[in-house]
Amino acid sequence: MAEDPDKMKVEQSDMSITEDRDVKMSQAPIMALSAYELAQKIREQKVTSEEAVSAVLKNIDEHECDVHAYLSFWKEEALAQARKCDEMVRESTDVSTLPPLLGVPVAIKDNLLLRGKRSTCGSKMLKDYIPPFSATCVEKLVAAGAIVIGKTNMDEFGMGASTEHSYFGATRHPEDPDRVPGGSSGGSAAAVAYGGASAALGTDTGGSIRQPAAFCGLVGLRPTYGSVSRHGLVAFASSMDTAGPITRGSVDAAMLFNIVNGADPKDQTSISAPKVDISAMENYDVKGKLIGIPKQLLREDTSYDRSGVSSRTMNRAREFFVKNGAKVEEIDMPILDFAVAIYYILSSAEASSNLSRYDGIRYGYRSGQASDISELYTKTRSEGFGKEVKRRILLGNYVLSSEHFDDCYRQAERARNMVKKAFDEAFSKYDFLLCPTAPGVAPKQGEIDKDPLAAYIADLCTVPASLLGTPAISVPFGRAEGLPVGIQLMGPRFGEQEILGAARFVEKALASDIDGDISFETQTMNQKGGTDS
């Protein structure tokens, strides 16, 4: 097939940053700040928003050609917005009344609509789609003063775990271009990791916020289902789709969550979750907490973790929590052996139904080769969707077909309820649950595509919270084989305060190494085998 000229096109308006701009601070100190700190410094006029946006744009200039985190970004527009924010700060008589993220540069996954900006979902089907409205969560970020720098790359319609299934080409891991950043929100994670944004929004259906956050050394929060409106989030599997933050730390994650959380009349499944008390997070202590580790989530046989990174990480995590005064117990949850199957049956069923709207008639790509209406549908969908999306549609149609509806779809629904019951019981006893976020470290480019089933199995630890609609967070827990690894903390519905508090505790402890003897692997990628150091 001839290369589609649109395929590698990245929309970059206003490419050049004018040289004479008065950037007082160098980019490094600004981008070392968390979004929370940066917002404060902008309010205190210690840093201008223009300096922050310039720093981000400089990083984009430097890294984007290798990483390809963005599908589109707009330089002059972002700088103009930054200058406006700076003016607001200068003219304010009481800076405490200014919006909480005023002047902070953020990135948005491309399946979250931003009015007037191309929103492709990583698909040829929507390659020219310009939405007439913004997603509620994006509107809320903008109302909180954030400056949207651009839209980030993703697996087509969120289906995938590597950001290789994008029509516009893969995103690469910012620390190692031979590796993937994870997915499907790999563009958002990579952008935050290389300093191409202070924070980002991703979406998580079965792990797409948490897994790329873990692979890129970031915090990824999947909030309670419904607490963030799905209005303007392009649907994949509606009973699980959730937008949430990918950030450099848990305080930023809490701050972004507080901003985007809330019931929305435009999404009937939305509901307001309690706001997270950020100062209470600082006082959180794991001492006296009871933590459960579902033993079915400790599987060691996934192809991406040949050297046992996850089990070594979990041993350290267990040791860490025990040393800090928590009680850690393994729990048996046999239904979790079916979690991946349940997730893929239900999410594919929902996807096949949601994606039926892309028919070449209403909006999106339309094949120019059709001679009648039925050929128009067939050709539009054959040409417009990529391989992974077609696989999900086929699987979805299969499980929804009259022959298989009862033995596949209905069974999966029943099994989902059993997962819910098992977790309700666990949450009535444990303060939170702990497990790896994903097997091993970020896989090599191409590895995931070789074996789709192995890729599905690798979602084992993230899909349970998706089926339950409960919150879960991935927090960095050192490195292995030269790359970041994360651990996942899961709480009951509306349990954001607890898991964010625990994540903050882990983060502070690792930063100051109060534990003193947690060993982390420091070998580079050349040293195969991944032994503990």
List residues binding ligand GLN (CB under 6 A). 158-161, 184, 204-208, 236, 347, 459
Minimal distance, residue 161 CB to ligand GLN, in Å: 4
Minimal distance, residue 496 CB to ligand GLN, in Å: 18
What's the rounded Cα separation, in Å, for the pair 467 and 338? 12
Minimal distance, residue 399 CB to ligand GLN, in Å: 14
Return the number of the residue (195 or 469) whose C-beta is nearest ligand GLN.
469
Reduced to 3 states (helix: H, G, I; strand: E, B; else coil), residue 498 is: helix
DSSP 254-321: HHHHHHHBS-BTTBTT--PPPPP-HHHHHT---TT-EEEEEGGGG----GGGTT-HHHHHHHHHHHHH
Minimal distance, residue 302 CB to ligand GLN, in Å: 13
Minimal distance, residue 241 CB to ligand GLN, in Å: 8
Query: 278, 296, 345, 299: which is closest to 100 by C-alpha?
Result: 278
**Active-site residue, from 41, 58, 109, 117:** 109
Minimal distance, residue 80 CB to ligand GLN, in Å: 33
Cis bond before residue 184 (omega within 30° of 0): yes
For residue 371, indicate whether it is catalytic: no
At 154, give phi and psi (nearest 5°): -160, 160
At 529, give phi and psi (nearest 5°): 110, -30
**Active-site residue, from 49, 54, 162, 184:** 184
Return the number of the residue (236 or 365) whose C-beta is nearest ligand GLN.
236
For residue 533, indicate whether it is catalytic: no
Minimal distance, residue 208 CB to ligand GLN, in Å: 3
Minimal distance, residue 12 CB to ligand GLN, in Å: 26
Residue 122 contacts residue 167 (beta carbons within 8 Å): yes
Q: Cβ–Cβ contacts within 10 Å for residue 488, how many?
A: 31
Question: Letter for the amino acid at 370?
Answer: A
Token pair listed for 490: 């899961």
**Active-site residue, from 119, 198, 208, 474:** 208
Return the number of the residue (180 or 433) whose C-beta is nearest ligand GLN.
180
Beta strand 199-204 with 242-247 is antiparallel
Strand partners, 11: 72
Find where tokens 């509606």 sit: 238
Helix (H) or strand (E) holding 243: strand 242-247
> Can you say whether the dihedral through the CA atoms of 27, 28, 31, 34 is positive or negative?
negative
What's the rounded Cα separation, in Å, for the pair 99 and 12? 28
Return the number of the residue (161 or 219) whose C-beta is nearest ligand GLN.
161
Minimal distance, residue 420 CB to ligand GLN, in Å: 19
Please state whether 527 falls in left (phi above 0), alpha (psi between -120 and 50) or beta.
beta
List of residues 6+ apart from 394 with CB closer than 8 A: 352
How many Å is the maximal CA-CA distance in the chain?
A: 71
Minimal distance, residue 260 CB to ligand GLN, in Å: 17
Q: Quote helix, strand, coil % in the chain, to nearest 5.
A: 45, 15, 45
Reduced to 3 states (helix: H, G, I; strand: E, B; else coil), residue 211 is: helix
For residue 46, indicate whether it is catalytic: no
Return the number of the residue (180 or 480) whose C-beta is nearest ligand GLN.
180
Return the number of the residue (34 or 205) whose C-beta is nearest ligand GLN.
205
Strand partners, 293: 330
Strand partners, 151: 72, 108
Measured in whole angstroms, the distance separating CA 388 from the mean position of its chain's CA atoms is 19
Q: Cβ–Cβ contacts within 10 Å for residue 503, how many?
A: 27
Return the number of the residue (121 or 286) whose C-beta is nearest ligand GLN.
121
Helix (H) or strand (E) holding 393: helix 387-400
List of residues 6+ apart from 390 with CB closer than 8 A: none
Residue 120 contacts residue 126 (beta carbons within 8 Å): yes
| Active site positions, annotated | 109, 184, 208
